[in-house]
Amino acid sequence: MLYQRSSALFKEAQEVIPGGVNSPVRAFNAVGGTPIFAKSAKGAYVYDEDGNRFIDYINSWGPMLLGHAFPPVVDAVIEKTKLGTSFGMPTAIETEIAELAVSMVPNIDKIRFVNSGTEACMSAIRLARGFTKKDKIIKFAGCYHGHSDSFLIAAGSGAVTFGTPNSPGVTQGTAKDTLLARYNDLENVKELVEANTNEIAAIIIEPVAGNMGCIPPVDGFLEGLRHLCDAHHILLIFDEVMTGFRLAKGGVQELKGIKADIVCFGKVVGGGLPVGAFAARNEIMNYLAPLGPVYQAGTLSGNPLAMAAGLAMLKAVNADTGLMNRLEEKTKYLHNGIADALNKNGVAHTINSIGSMISVHFAEGAVVDFDSAAKGNNETFKTFFHGMLNAGIYIAPSAFETWFITDALTYEDLNATIAAVEQVAKTL
Ligand SMILES: Cc1ncc(COP(=O)(O)O)c(C=O)c1O
């Protein structure tokens, strides 16, 4: 494939945008080469500026559960736009999408809309701290909750010590209130809780992790966190920015039957427009301004175009009783096909998948946490990534990302993907 126009555009972009991109992972730093510039997308395909077509497994990093340019979303946005693009006043559609979301997701009474997943998670921990009147939070190594300061934290030296900033600009003062635990390791979380009695406001987790590749929770892990939180008056925050309205209509709470105290959303909830949200039972949400003392606001929060896109999306997800099964079947088909292709060629790998999330780790043995994900062979991944790209298959340009399966994918697309893996596997 030729990427001449993408290369020229990237060169131009780098003059005026840091690294040529508005979000770092787009820059291909982890895999090398020049990022391709998207021009348009429809259904399961994205088209670049050079006219190449790719079967898309990124899907805008998650929102496009039903495919690109999903007609009900496109139509809803066009119609809303004609009425004005922002008012800074309440609108009826905000209540409409809130009512629908509350009806789809278990254990929530109220929801507040924001503009991104980052904002949702940032606001959720502020609310948890205000509500519990405690300062510290526990997060898990390898889980991503957006780029607000409290989450850009690496593990400190000892298992039970506080974290350290993992980006310049994050202060030690902020880092000391974030504790890092190992995903799927309940004992580790217990140690942290016991070493910080009465200090932990919240445990925040991706209940199915997607930001170290796809890593589902092991049996009993989420239940264990729930019990621990109940015993210590800690709020359990499910960051369902990736999984919400995706792994089940009610997200992982519904899928696994575990109750979270606060739930964060993003991606699917906005149907491809900039939307995030956080939600909880009344007792917690009523702590938020203007009802309560915890401040949170946004000029464009609940923006009518974003709400129109989100509402069209949630309505479609809610109405489609076969959707989750179809997505799961497609994912399983891909999982088995890729595993066969890699096994035939003797390529060491582990595939994790659940619902419509899947990732190929080029590591042997179970991948259950950040350390086991990090054992993956990055050189193999780079070759795999570029081989797939040249075969017209667009997967995330990092080994630490999940692939997102969209309902727009046909079995022909899946077969083409598996055939590409078979070819590329010969080069690994
Ligand atoms: C689980 C999770 N939480 C939060 C975020 C941050 O969302 P945003 O990029 O919309 O700020 C992401 C983004 O990928 C995510 O995957």
35: preceding bond cis by omega (within 30 degrees): no
- In the beta sheet, which residues pair with residue 279? 111, 263
Residues 11-16, mean pLDDT to the nearest whole number: 98
DSSP per residue, 223-291: HHHHHHHHHHT-EEEEE-TTTTTTTSTTHHHHHHT---SEEEE-GGGGTTSS-EEEEE-HHHHTTBTTT
* Distance between Cα 277 and ligand 1 center (Å): 11
Q: Say yes or no to pLDDT of 157 above 60.
A: no
State the closest ligand 1 atom to the C-alpha of 206, by its place in the atom list counted from 1: 1
User: Of 122, 242, 246, 400, which is best to mutate to test ligand 1, by the most ligand atoms within 8 angstroms of its C-beta?
Assistant: 242
pLDDT at 163: 77
State the closest ligand 1 atom to the C-alpha of 276, by its place in the atom list counted from 1: 10
Classify burial at 149, counting beta carbons within 10 Å of its beta carbon; exposed 0-12, middle 13-18, buried 19 or more.
middle
* Distance between Cα 1 and ligand 1 center (Å): 31
Protein residue with least CA distance to atom 3, ligand 1: 145
Q: Output the CA–CA distances (angstroms, integers) from residue 352 to 71, 241, 339, in the order listed.
A: 31, 19, 11
Classify burial at 2, counting beta carbons within 10 Å of its beta carbon; exposed 0-12, middle 13-18, buried 19 or more.
exposed
Radius of gyration of the chain (CA): 21
Q: Say yes or no to pLDDT of 47 above 80.
A: yes
Q: Say yes or no to pLDDT of 284 above 50.
A: yes
Cα–Cα dist 84/16, whole Å: 31
Catalytically annotated residues:
144, 239, 267
Residues 88-103, mean pLDDT to the nearest whole number: 98
Protein residue with least CA distance to atom 4, ligand 1: 145
Location of structure tokens 């088209």: 47
Average pLDDT over the chain, rounded to an integer: 96
Cα–Cα dist 256/233, whole Å: 22
* Distance between Cα 422 and ligand 1 center (Å): 32
Q: Say yes or no to pLDDT of 160 above 60.
A: no
User: Residues enclosing ligand 1, CB less than 6 A?
Assistant: 61, 116-118, 121, 144-146, 206, 210-211, 239, 241-242, 266, 276
pLDDT at 156: 64
State the closest ligand 1 atom to the C-alpha of 266, by its place in the atom list counted from 1: 10
pLDDT band at 166 (very low <50, low <70, confident <90, very high): confident
User: Of 22, 143, 145, which is best to mutate to test ligand 1, by the most ligand atoms within 8 angstroms of its C-beta?
Assistant: 145
Q: The domain at 71-319 falls in which architecture?
A: 3-Layer(aba) Sandwich (3.40)
Q: Domain map of the chain by residue range?
A: 4-69+322-425, 71-319
pLDDT at 45: 98
CATH topology of domain 4-69+322-425: Aspartate Aminotransferase, domain 1 (3.90.1150)
Location of structure tokens 């994918």: 409
pLDDT band at 259 (very low <50, low <70, confident <90, very high): very high
Cα–Cα dist 397/35, whole Å: 9
* Distance between Cα 241 and ligand 1 center (Å): 6
Q: Say yes or no to pLDDT of 423 above 70.
A: yes
* Distance between Cα 113 and ligand 1 center (Å): 15
Q: Which two tokens stand for residue 414?
A: 């899946």
Protein residue with least CA distance to atom 7, ligand 1: 117
* pTM, 2 dp: 0.97
pLDDT at 159: 45
Residues 308-328, mean pLDDT to the nearest whole number: 98
Q: In degrees, to the nearest 5, what angle opens at C-alpha 197 toward C-alphas 192 and 203?
A: 50
